[in-house]
Amino acid sequence: MRTLAGAAVLAGSAVLAGGALAGCGLSFSRHTEDRTYTAPDGVGALKVSPGDGAVRITASDSPGITVTEHLRWSNGRNKPQPRHDVGGRTLSLSARCGHSVIGSNPCRISYEIRVPRATAVEVHGGSGSIRVTGLAGAVRLHGDTGAVTATDLRTSTATLSAGSGNVRVSGRAATADLRTDTGSITATGLTADRLTARTGGGEVRLGGRIASAEVRTDTGALRADGLTADRLAVETNAGTVAVALAAAPSSVRATTDTGSVRLRLPADRPYAITLSTDTGGKRIDPGVHQDSAAPRHVTVKTNAGAISIKPA
């Protein structure tokens, strides 16, 4: 493994504000420094572990990876310590801060990176936001409390996850796997062959063209407007399902414990519809063509929620 040290072209600055802590010799001024460098030829993959810093990655049709690090710290003892290593064809970037000072550690490294479009990218962040755009290589992004956003994708695989942060994705991904603990998931401009979305307490919003979508939430709602999906499966414990489909699906399956289900289906095709609810009402608009022998199946089951199916 090679460590990029002498290869870095540094553009540094320091901004000082405030005074020193009397008797301790520690300055609580804010310091900043920017560093820019280029990865060696032949690098085809990027891994970033920014700590709590933000990450912005932009794809281009130009060769080579260019990295700009934005360092922020409060005193000489907690200056960030960036690391950049090359192992095989992978550039790995990581950030570590110095000592904590009096209950806080205002130390952070944020990254702005430009990569060739086909670069495989993996980011494992903390409270800082993660944003990538235009990537065609495999994408794997994780944030804890920071938002995770991927736009204008042209990839075969996209895996995005977060804790309490929100996840957003648009573009093209043959396979998309989206997960959060309590954050929301938004995939309203996505074209995908297969989408899997899982969230504990967040809302899920879908749109675009998805051949097969599988969504599961604990307490979050699912909302989709203008969605084209051939196969859609939704399961929620305590969340509303409200879906308007722009094209006739071959299969829709929706299951909730305590949430209502509202579907809008194109009226130009017949559907074999099966509805089941314990305590809620059931209503199918006369404009929806029912036929038990139809090849298109709609199955909805809820324990405590109303079911409504209307024409799109």
pLDDT in tens, 259-288: 999 999 999 999 999 999 999 999 999 999
pLDDT score, position 114: 98
Residue ranges per domain, the chain? Answer: 190-312
pLDDT score, position 76: 73
Least confidently predicted of 9-23, 59-73, 177-191, 272-286 = 9-23
pLDDT > 60? residue 25: no
pLDDT score, position 79: 85
**CB of 230 within 8 A of CB of 214?**
no
pLDDT score, position 29: 61
pLDDT in tens, 27-59: 456 889 999 999 999 999 999 999 989 999 999
% pLDDT > 90, the chain: 82
pLDDT score, position 74: 84
Least confidently predicted of 72-81, 110-119, 243-252 = 72-81
Q: How far is residue 109's CA from residue 48's CA, in Å, rounded to a whole number?
A: 11
Angle, CA of 16, 70 and 102, to the nearest 5°: 55
pLDDT score, position 78: 81
- Confidence grade of residue 23 (pLDDT, cut at 50, 70, 90): very low
Q: Alpha-carbon Rg of the chain, whole angstroms?
A: 24
pLDDT > 80? residue 94: yes
pLDDT score, position 27: 46
pLDDT > 50? residue 227: yes
Average pLDDT value for the chain:
90
- DSSP 8-state assignment for residue 134: S
> Residue 16 to residues 28, 32, 96: CA-CA distances in angstroms?
9, 9, 21
DSSP sequence for 44-79 = -EEEEE-TTS-EEEEEESSSS-EEEEEEEESSTTS-
In sequence order, the 6+-apart residues with CB closer than 8 A to the CB of 5 are none
pLDDT score, position 102: 53
pLDDT > 90? residue 246: yes
- DSSP 8-state assignment for residue 269: S
pLDDT > 70? residue 178: yes
Please tell me the pTM assigned to this model. 0.89
pLDDT score, position 12: 36
pLDDT > 90? residue 5: no
pLDDT in tens, 112-158: 999 999 999 999 999 999 999 999 999 999 999 999 999 999 999 99
